Amino acid sequence: MSEHDTNPETPLTPEQHAAKESEVIRSKKDNLLFLKEHGVLPYGYEFKRTGLVEEVKARNTAAVEGVDGTVQEAIAGRLVSIREHGKSTFANVKDFSGSMQIYIKKDVVGDEVYSLFKKFDIGDIVGITGVVFKTRTGELTVKASKIELLTKSLLPMPEKFHGLKDKEIRYRKRYLDLIANDEVRKTFEIRTKITKEIRNFLDAKGFLEVETPMMHTIPGGAKAKPFTTHHNALDMELFMRIAPELYLKRLIVGGFEKVYEINRNFRNEGLSIKHNPEFTMLELYEAYTDYKGVMQMCEDIVVHLADTILGTRVIEYQGEKIDMSPPWKKVSMTGSIKEYGGIDVDNMSDADIIEMLKKKEIQIRAGVTRGELVTLLFDEFVEAKLIQPVFITDFPVEVSPLSKVNRSNPKIAERFEPYIFGREIGNGFSELNDAEDQEARFRAQIEMDTHGEVAKTIDEDYVEALKYGMPPAGGLGMGIDRIVMFFTNAASIRDVILFPLMRGK
RNA sequence: GGGCAGUUAGCUCAGUGGUAGAGCAGUUGACUCUUAAUCAAUUGGCCGAGGGUUCGACUCCCUCACUGCCCA
């Protein structure tokens, strides 16, 4: 204590302040020292468990109050609470499956072990061996005969009742969030189940999962600003991928008729409740089908996920009931503008639309195309109203550079986007396989780009691949993070990404 | 990038222009079926950082940092 004494008249220097420890931490260090001095290894090497605590509980449910079990069980986990009662102590040990009570009795373990256990702290990782019994209140409890310290914890755990609420700490130190908040682990378990079930679903249909480059020499496959990086040996600028699309379609050219990839995309844009700079996308391509085929598959995938993971097709998201039962509604983009926005685009001139958008203070670039104007109307007057699952179809061809033109109307693309809760959760189309048309569309994109969201060079290699011939194909992309948000009722994308990007501190 | 809100003990939160509070955690003591254990006592704060106003600032003003939410 004396080394921390300071004259109250003199303020602490920053160094002194940093060196000053809270009593909580000092106490844990003192306990560590005490245990070491008494021959306890504070960091164990292994511990053979007889099972997870939920398994141990499950096979001991028949225990009768007042009668000790006969089988020795061994559990391990983090000490999450301690209730001392003089010569006996109750505590709880939590492992991946759950939490189980343990009971340490002085006349069972002996004076020495009992006094050593008093130096264990909440947060320590322990191994407990003993028989199971049922307490007066009916709780299955391990009566410790042996107590092992497996890891000493040196920092205080978050508060036991309120948990950890500070969002900044929860995102920056996710491990603490996982320790303190059980529902967080559930969220990420569901996330894993979602990707696993998507794989199960697609694998069963004969799809091949592949991995394509994350570092591109030309960013393509989407309209977005890329992150740039540099390869030293090749002295070459590289771009983190914004989409895997052009590589996956090269594989369709190569004869992989059903491929998919579930992996990260990187987009150098703002952060929001819906956007993280790196996010996970499913992209799949199937030869010899069109946008209608993959639209059906999109619906099938989501319904499959709901059935297998949630066991219900009606979910509640942010207070809104969402029914994912098929078939989902389908509306053309202009139809949706009429239906949800009360605007009859077909009978409006470009000038009419521009005037309407300007009233909403929407910036319009010079030389804007009709298709872009229609899309802006959709964004402004429709998107937020699409709560129940719906497919918006018939996108303007100008905003769909990788889609085939509709077979009966050259102004619209054979493309759709599924919406839930006002959020775009995917994108799909009949893949453009006319190399010359593709090249022309790339050139038009570059000319129209005013925000640096399109690479200035055309991916000639991709165009060349198309020239060798790509069979007709349907493609679908789905944002995995957004699906996870719906399935876990998460308000922010940061709640479904284990380590969301945070500003350096 | 713009707007609003927030930042107080390890955690969860109060608080007022007059020198900072609770619960949990910690420490000490009591307690051999408790479970948000209980009871008694107790330690712990550069009140996010910097500047300004003031006799006096955790409180009012400005700047900055970080976070959350809304908008672009």
Tell me if A93 sits within 8 A of A125, measured CB to CB: no
Centroid of chain to Cα A48: 33
Cα A457 from Cα A463, distance rounded (Å): 12
A441 pLDDT band (50/70/90 cuts)? very high
pLDDT of residue A19: 59
A2 pLDDT band (50/70/90 cuts)? very low
Distance A85 CA to B38 C1' (A): 10
Nearest to A362 by CA among A348, A375, A371: A375
Distance A239 CA to B7 C1' (A): 37
A386 pLDDT band (50/70/90 cuts)? very high
Whole-number mean pLDDT of chain A? 93
**Interval A221-232 mean pLDDT:** 93
Distance A159 CA to B23 C1' (A): 10
Architecture of the domain defined by A14-151 = Beta Barrel (2.40)
Centroid of chain to Cα A429: 25
Cα A98 from Cα A139, distance rounded (Å): 14
Query: Coil, helix or strand for A91?
Result: strand
Instruction: Cite the DSSP H helix spans in A254-408.
Output: 291-305, 333-341, 350-359, 370-381
CA angle in degrees (0–180, nearest 5) for A232-A233-A239:
50
Distance A4 CA to B46 C1' (A): 16
Nearest nucleotide (C1') to alpha carbon of A26: B26
DSSP A495: G
Q: A208-209 and A258-266: which strand pairing?
A: parallel
pLDDT of residue A13: 53
Tell me if A179 sits within 8 A of A78, measured CB to CB: yes
pTM of the model: 0.93
Cα A175 from Cα A405, distance rounded (Å): 49
pLDDT surpasses 70 at A1? no
Distance A8 CA to B19 C1' (A): 14
Cα A149 from Cα A300, distance rounded (Å): 50
* A398 HSE (CA, 13 A, CB side): 13
A18 pLDDT band (50/70/90 cuts)? low
- The answer, yes or no, to whether the previous bond of A472 is cis (omega within 30 of 0) is no
Nearest nucleotide (C1') to alpha carbon of A161: B36
Architecture of the domain defined by A182-317+397-414+425-495 = 2-Layer Sandwich (3.30)
Interface pTM (ipTM) of the complex?
A: 0.93
| Protein-contacted positions of strand B (CB under 7 Å) | 1, 9-13, 23-27, 30-38, 43-46, 65-72
A16 pLDDT band (50/70/90 cuts)? low
What's the pLDDT tens digit per position in A459-504?
A: 999 999 999 999 999 999 999 999 999 999 999 999 999 999 998 7
Domain boundaries, chain A: 14-151, 182-317+397-414+425-495
